[in-house]
Amino acid sequence: MTAATQDRDVRYRVFRFPADVDDGTALGVRPDDGGLVLGGPPSRLEYTDPHTGVHTRYDVGHWVSPPVPVGFRVHQVVPSWTADTPPGCWIQVEVCGWADDTPVTDWYVLARWAADDEAVRRTSVPGQRDGRAEVDTDTLTVTGAEATGWQVRVTLARPAGSTPGPTLRTIGAVASGPRPTGPGGTERDAAAGDPAARGRVLAVPMFSQRLHAGHYPHWGGGGDSWCSPTCVSMVLAYWGAGPAPGEYAWVDPTDPRPQVDHAARHCYDHAYRGAGNWPFNTAYAGRYGMDAFVTRLRSLAEAERFVTAGVPLVVSAAFRIGDVPGLDYDTKGHLIVLVGFTPDGDPVLNDPYASDDAGVRRTVDRHRFTAAWQGGSGGVTYVIRPPSVPLPPPPDQPNW
């Protein structure tokens, strides 16, 4: 990557199973053809679901990654994963900070996740804060410690004595350094982009979240707040994937697009009380055979490589009215699908915050949108694609 675009430290690392099982430490788990599963003498865990009060005993096993050095001072870490969890089963994801082969923070729980919500409520774990680091829903922020790497621990849990158990297929994390204080690549990336992306717009279908206003408000307030699962639903539809009709038979038959309601329910974080938890959304896409993860991109120049490869991106931005002409509303955080670029390099978006499907497609100014994306979330991006579709070559400091 050229100096024109690498003005922020970001690095992503993923472990894929069964191939990478021996990279870490397996305790009560084993590889099989589909991933990592419970095997060997299990440990026991007593867990009371804080959202239902139900107390259950579980057989559990663990996989602990090696420390992952990143080569810079870590400010934030966001893990993401793909897994299968039969009814009653779940996984727990924990992260800690490292430096010089020594842990410099405690372990923090970033997720207790299940694909369904009948027996276990998927949840982040609020209130984890000390002098070294703190958890904000899906993000570990290192505060008082000096971390130059991270480590992840995944627990697989099934009801004690049962046979079906969870399968972990991937676990990864994106680490990022402090955001630069100057304009950096937000002002210079156009010249460093991929010319093959200019004038290319991917055929991602257009879904409006606002058609679901008032629907199922107990899952994050209804459609007005369902930007993230609506975006994921658009990308799944682009790939010809997503829930079968039998999976959303519980949705009102008059609903204009029941797969969006299904996604909102199954991305919902019961502690956060919303459907916008970043890795919960990529994990939902993983249910449908996608290779999906959360990362941070440094610029639209990097995003152009994905469009050239035929891979749309879901990006998180924040802005006020007037910041990005064409996106004329205020938001502290909003997910949008980046579907392509004009011949001049301006981004073409599928913005779910439109009153109907016809209004979803927007074209906006490149630099204004870059500022809203990088300034709002630090370039947070969902990458969702079938494993058979190759990713573009990564930069020298790989963030995918």
Q: What is the pLDDT of residue 303?
A: 98
The confidence band for 101, taking pLDDT boundaries of 50, 70 and 90, is: confident
Could you count the other beta carbons within 10 Å of the beta carbon of residue 40? 10
pLDDT of 346 > 80? The answer is: yes
Give 79-95 pLDDT, tens digit per residue: 999 999 999 999 999 99
pLDDT of 6 > 90? The answer is: no
Fold of 185-385: Cathepsin B; Chain A (3.90.70)
pLDDT of 1 > 50? The answer is: no
pLDDT of 316 > 60? The answer is: yes
Q: What is the pLDDT of residue 193?
A: 85
pLDDT of 190 > 80? The answer is: no
Q: Is the peptide bond before 164 cis (omega within 30 degrees of 0)?
A: no
The confidence band for 181, taking pLDDT boundaries of 50, 70 and 90, is: low
pLDDT of 7 > 80? The answer is: no
- Name the least confident of 76-85, 164-173, 180-189, 343-352: 180-189
Percent of the chain with pLDDT over 90: 93
Cα separation, 12 vs 27, whole angstroms: 25
What's the sign of the alpha-carbon dihedral 264, 265, 268, 271?
positive
pLDDT of 172 > 50? The answer is: yes
CB-count exposure of residue 386 (10 Å: 0-12, 13-18, 19+): middle
Total-model pTM: 0.96
What are the Cα distances from residue 329, in Å, to 184, 277, 351? 26, 22, 12
Cα separation, 265 vs 68, whole angstroms: 33
Q: What is the pLDDT of residue 41?
A: 86
CATH architecture of 10-176: Sandwich (2.60)
More confident residue, 182 or 96: 96
Cα separation, 33 vs 304, whole angstroms: 34
User: Where in the chain is CATH 3.90.70.10?
Assistant: 185-385
Average pLDDT over residues 273-298: 98
Q: What is the pLDDT of residue 187?
A: 45
Q: What is the pLDDT of residue 186?
A: 47
Percent of the chain with pLDDT over 70: 96
Give 381-398 pLDDT, tens digit per residue: 999 999 999 999 999 999
User: Where in the chain is CATH 2.60.120?
Assistant: 10-176
Q: What is the pLDDT of residue 40?
A: 85
Q: Please, what is the average pLDDT of the chain?
A: 95
Question: Which residue in the block uniquely carries the two structure tokens 């019961």?
Answer: 270
